[in-house]
Amino acid sequence: MARQFEGTCPRSWFGLGGAVVSTNAVFDSAPAGSCPAHTISEGVSIRHLAPPPGAERVDLAEAEEFVRLYHAENPQAGPPEARLRQVRAHVERFGTYWHTADELVHGARVAWRNSSRCIGRLYWRSLRVRDRRAVAGADEIATECVAHLREAITEGRIRPTVTVFHPSAPDRPGPRIWNEQLTRYAGYRVGSTVIGDPRNLGFTDLVRRLGWAGGGGRFDLLPLVVEAPGQAPRLYDLPAEVVHEVPLTHPRFDWLAELGLRWFAVPAISNMCLEIGGICYQAAPFNGWYMGTEIGARNLGDTGRYDQLPVIAERMGLDTGSERTLWRDLALVELNVAVLHSFELAGVTITDHHTESRRFIDHLDREQRKGRRVGADWSWIVPPISGSTTPVFHRADDAAWAGTELPGSGRRRVDPERSQPQRARALHEAGLRQQRHTAARG
C-alpha cells in the first residue's frame, strides 16, 4: 500500500534541481502544498542544491572508455568503431546515450569487479542483471524491488542480482530509492536508549514523519521510500514473505536463542549510483550474500549498533570487570559462531571470513594474470575479526592496494553532499578517472 507524502514545493523540490534529503533529515511537519524546507526544525539536512547527478551531460571520455572496454572484453561484439561513432553522435545531440542490453550487463558486472571495498568479487561474472530501464514510476519501482528480493533467493540459495531502473539524463534525474538497503530494521529512540538498529534512527524518523506507523520492535522492517522524477516520495511496506530472516541459535549455548536475535538473509544496497560509461543509474539496488562478520561482528556487535557483546559475555559467565579477560573477544567469536551456524541450519547462503579471504586472493591472482589491476581498499577488505589469521592481511604491500579507482564502470553512493560533477572533477584532479565505488561501511 502506497502512502503519498502530501507536499509539493513551489520551488520544485522533487524535480530537477530539487531536494536532496539525507537520511538524518527530520521533517517537522509537512502540510499539504508547502515545501518541508519551510517547516523544518533542528537536525534537518534537507536543502535545495544545484542540479542533482545526471543533470549534466555525459562525459564523452568516460563513455568512450567504457565502449572500448566493452568491445575489448567481448570480442564477439566486434570492433568498437561503429558504436563509438554512434555514442559520440548521441552525446553531442542529446547529452547522453542509451546502453545496449549487453553493455548494461557487462557494465554492471565490471562495476562489481571494480568495487574496491568488496571482498566477494571472485564471482563478478555471475551477477544477474534485471534490466528495468523502462521503469521509472514509483509504484512499478517498488513492485520491482519486491520482485528483486523474491528472485534473489530460492530455497535459501542467494543469487547476486542487480535491478537497473531508468538512468539520469540531462533533462531529468533518474528515480531514487531513499533506503540504504531494501531491507533494514527500524531504530526508535526511547528515553536514553534505542530499540532496534541505531544506524537507522534518522531514516526511521523520516519515514514516521512521512506517515509510517512503526511497531516499536527490535526488528521492524522499514518501508521502501521511492522518489520518481518530479514527484513526492512514496512509502511502500515490504510484504513480509519476501524478506527471509534467520533466527539466531548457537551450537553449544542453548540460551542464545532466548536473546531473540535475528538477521535478514539478503543484503541489497539501494542508495548507490551504478555508473557505467559516464551514465548514472541512481536507482540500481544490488545484492550478494552475507559474510558472517558483517552481522556477527558489526551489525550485532558494534556498540553503535545492537551492542550485544556485554549481554553475551554475561550469559557466558565471563569476567567483564577487566579488559584483560578479553571478554569482548570471546563473546565476539561466539556471536560469529552463532551467525554462521544459524544461517547454515536455515539453509541460507553465507560465507565465513577465512574462506572469503582466500577466494579474494584467488581473485587478485587471477585478475593480475589477465593483466588487469584490482583496486582494493585494505581497510575494508581485511575482516573485522581475526584479521591477521586471513591471507588478505598479509598482502598489505600488494600492488592491488595502491589505487582504488579503476577504469570502466563503477558504483558510488548517491551522495547528497557532493554532486556527481564535483566528484568527477575531484577524481580527475587526482589523476584518477572513472571508477568509483563507495559503500556504507558495515
Residues that bind ligand ARG (CB under 6 A): 181, 267, 269, 288-291, 294, 299, 442
Nearest to 225 by CA among 285, 170, 294, 305: 285
Nearest to 265 by CA among 328, 344, 188: 344
Nearest to 242 by CA among 128, 151, 165, 179: 151
Nearest distance from residue 10's CB to ligand ARG, in Å? 38
Residue 181 vs 390, nearer CB to ligand ARG: 181
Kindly write down the DSSP assignment for every residue of 103-147, as one continuous string: HHHHHHHHHHHT-TT-S-GGGGGG-EEEE-TT--SHHHHHHHHHH
Q: Which residue is nearest to ligand ARG (CB)?
A: 288
Residue 289 vs 378, nearer CB to ligand ARG: 289
Kindly write down the DSSP assignment for every residue of 229-266, as one continuous string: TTS--EEEPPPGGGS-EEE---SS-GGGGGG--EEES-
Residue 168 vs 390, nearer CB to ligand ARG: 390
Q: Is 121 a catalytic residue?
A: yes
Which one from 124, 263, 289, 378 is the annotated catalytic residue? 289
Nearest distance from residue 68's CB to ligand ARG, in Å? 29
Nearest distance from residue 295's CB to ligand ARG, in Å? 6
Residue 18 vs 267, nearer CB to ligand ARG: 267
Q: Is 118 a catalytic residue?
A: yes
Residue whose entry in the numeric block shows the C-alpha cell 526511547 = 190
CA 36 to chain centre: 27
Residue 211 gets the label, from left (phi > 0), alpha (psi -120 to 50) or beta, of: left
Q: Return the C-alpha cell found at 226.
A: 521511492
Q: How many CA atoms lie within 13 A of 269 on its CB side?
A: 21
Nearest to 354 by CA among 436, 292, 397, 407: 292
Residue 196 vs 288, nearer CB to ligand ARG: 288
CA 441 to chain centre: 9
Nearest distance from residue 329's CB to ligand ARG, in Å? 20
Scored b (16 or more CB within 10 A) or e, 214-249 reads beeebbbbbbbbbbbbbbbbbbbbbeeebbbbbebb
Residue 53 vs 160, nearer CB to ligand ARG: 160
Rounded Cα distance between 166 and 128, Å, is 17
Q: How far is CA 96 from CA 85, 93, 321, 412, in A?
A: 13, 8, 62, 19
Q: How many CA atoms lie within 13 A of 91 on its CB side?
A: 19
Nearest distance from residue 430's CB to ligand ARG, in Å? 26
Residue 52 vs 120, nearer CB to ligand ARG: 120
Residues in the chain: 442
Residue 183 vs 420, nearer CB to ligand ARG: 183
Which one from 275, 294, 356, 405 is the annotated catalytic residue? 294
Amino acid identity, residue 369? Answer: R
CB neighbours of residue 417 within 10 Å: 12
Which one from 9, 118, 273, 280 is the annotated catalytic residue? 118
Which one from 113, 121, 176, 413 is the annotated catalytic residue? 121
Rounded Cα distance between 110 and 331, Å, is 38
Residue 290 vs 327, nearer CB to ligand ARG: 290
Scored b (16 or more CB within 10 A) or e, 377-411 reads bbebbbbbbbeeebebeebeeeebbebbbbbbbbb
Rounded Cα distance between 306 and 296, Å, is 10
Triad 362, 271, 197: Cα angle to 5° = 90
Nearest distance from residue 177's CB to ligand ARG, in Å? 15
Catalytic residues: 118, 121, 289, 294
